[in-house]
C-alpha cells in the first residue's frame, strides 16, 4: 500500500467510524409483527459492529491488485471476489459469487438510505459490477483488469451515470 493510500486510510477511518456510530445510534428499532416478535429471514441483519468491521476490512484492501476470478489478497480480487472475501472474514456471511446473483442477496435498499456495509450494484437489467458502500458517498471495489481495489465516489463522473441499486443483508 502506498504512502498516499495509507494517509487516506488514516484520515478516512476516524471519520467513517464516527459516521457509523452516529448512524447506528440513529437507527430505528427493528419492525415487529402484530404478535410482537421481530420477523426473521435467512440472513440476519448486520449490526453496527458488523458494518464497521466490513467497512474497515474493505478499506484495508485498497491497493490490492485486480485479478479476474480472484478472491484473496495474495492472488488479487475481482469485484465479487472482494465482496465475498470481506463478508466471509468480517461477518461470516457468504454472498453469491457472481454479481448477477448478488442482485437477490439480502433485501433492496433505497439509495437514499445506504449504510456502510451495504452492497452497491451497477448495471441495468442485470448488474455487472459491485462494491461495498463505506459511508460518505464512497464505495470500495475492484474495478478492472490492470487496476487495483480502490475507493470511489458514487457521485463521481462515471459512477453517477450508471444504473445503481443497493442491497442489505437481512
Whether 93 contacts 169, CB under 8 Å? yes
Is 141 annotated in the active site?
Answer: yes
Is 89 annotated in the active site?
Answer: no
Is 19 annotated in the active site?
Answer: no
Q: What angle do CA 58, 169, 128 make, to 5 degrees?
A: 65
Q: Looking at 19, 25, 57, 129, which residue is catalytic?
A: 129
Q: Name the nearest CA neighbour of 150 among 50, 58, 14, 51.
A: 58
What span, in angstroms and rounded, lies between the C-alpha atoms of 97 and 120?
15
Q: Looking at 10, 19, 25, 79, which residue is catalytic?
A: 79
> For strand 138-141 and strand 150-153, is the pairing parallel, antiparallel, or unpaired?
antiparallel
List, by residue number, the catalytic residues. 79, 129, 141
Amino acid at each position: 500500500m502506498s504512502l498516499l493510500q495509507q494517509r487516506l486510510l488514516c484520515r478516512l477511518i476516524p471519520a467513517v467510524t464516527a459516521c457509523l456510530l452516529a448512524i447506528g445510534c440513529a437507527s430505528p428499532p427493528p419492525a415487529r409483527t402484530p404478535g410482537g416478535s421481530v420477523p426473521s429471514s435467512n440472513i440476519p441483519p448486520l449490526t453496527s459492529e458488523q458494518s464497521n468491521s466490513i467497512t474497515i476490512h474493505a478499506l484495508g484492501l485498497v491497493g490490492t491488485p485486480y485479478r479476474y476470478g480472484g478472491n484473496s489478497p495474495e492472488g488479487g480480487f475481482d469485484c465479487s471476489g472482494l465482496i465475498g472475501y470481506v463478508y466471509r472474514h468480517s461477518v461470516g456471511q457468504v454472498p453469491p459469487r457472481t454479481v448477477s446473483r448478488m442482485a437477490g442477496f439480502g433485501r433492496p435498499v433505497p439509495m437514499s438510505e445506504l449504510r456502510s456495509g451495504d452492497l452497491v450494484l451497477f448495471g441495468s437489467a442485470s448488474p455487472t459490477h459491485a462494491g461495498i458502500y463505506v459511508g460518505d458517498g464512497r464505495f470500495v471495489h475492484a474495478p478492472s483488469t490492470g487496476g487495483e481495489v480502490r475507493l470511489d465516489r458514487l457521485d463521481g463522473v462515471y459512477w453517477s451515470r450508471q444504473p445503481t441499486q443497493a442491497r442489505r443483508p437481512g
